[in-house]
Amino acid sequence: MSHGKQFTLYTHAAGPNGWKVAYLLVELGLTYEPVFFDFAKKDQKSPEYLKLNPNGRIPAIIDHGNNDFVLWESNAILLYIVEKYDKEHKFSAVTDADKAYQNQWLSFQASGQGPYFGQFTWFHFYHPEKVSSAEERYKGETERVFGVLDAVLSKQEWLVAGKMTISDMSFISWNLVAFQVILGDDYPFAEKFPAVYKWHNAMAERPAIKACIEQRASMMSH
């Protein structure tokens, strides 16, 4: 390790899943060196990177403070970081029941939000043919997932343990893509999903998270 930071984070300027990890590292004051991949050059499929992450996707981390421990899958990374470096439980559950709920929401994010929002993005922007039925299906799933979150968050401020945890944080990046890109700026988000809107903004306005969001925006405008 020549950069002197605790972590190396393999990530991408636009891709949502690397930023999740950045939000937590910055919130906890842990240092990291980002390596921003160029997907057009297939950096994520290089033989060197596949040795770290056989799935060939971002994010992955190397923890230089723990014998160069390597991990991939963003929510597994969030859990590892809080387990090892959030001893005060600033962003993580304490009791067994809350830990189970924390896992429940992380699983819902990784199976319900990420892939469906991702497929909506894919069919909206990248699929070589226009397939309206697929786009409609994933738009419907995106709205359904927001509906689930809104029903819960209209009764409680945070998903788990009465505070912002990694479960809440794991949703931020794809929320942003949905707000800004796939549903679009003119989508009446605040009216349709008021509790989600409030919850998301409370997180996005935190200085650490705001700094990451601004860094992403500035990288995307260049």
3-state class of 46 per DSSP? coil
Residue whose CB is less far from ligand GDS, 16 or 164: 16
Residue whose CB is less far from ligand GDS, 122 or 187: 122
CB of 123 to ligand GDS, least distance (A): 11
Q: H/E element holding 146?
A: helix 132-153
Residue whose CB is less far from ligand GDS, 190 or 220: 220
Residue whose CB is less far from ligand GDS, 71 or 209: 71
Q: How many CB atoms lie within 10 A of CB 197?
A: 18
Q: How many angstroms from the chain centroid is the CA of residue 159?
A: 15
Q: How far apart are CA 113 and CA 51, in angstroms?
A: 28
CB of 121 to ligand GDS, least distance (A): 6
> Which residue's C-beta sits nearest to ligand GDS?
118
Interface positions with ligand GDS (CB under 6 A): 12, 15-17, 39, 44, 56-59, 73-74, 110, 114-115, 118, 122
CB of 57 to ligand GDS, least distance (A): 3
Q: How far apart are CA 74 and CA 219, in angstroms?
A: 21
Q: How far apart are CA 189 and CA 191, in angstroms?
A: 5
CB of 83 to ligand GDS, least distance (A): 17
The residues that bridge with 32 in the sheet, in sequence order, are: 7
Residue whose CB is less far from ligand GDS, 110 or 134: 110
CB of 89 to ligand GDS, least distance (A): 23
Q: How far apart are CA 64 and CA 3, in angstroms?
A: 10
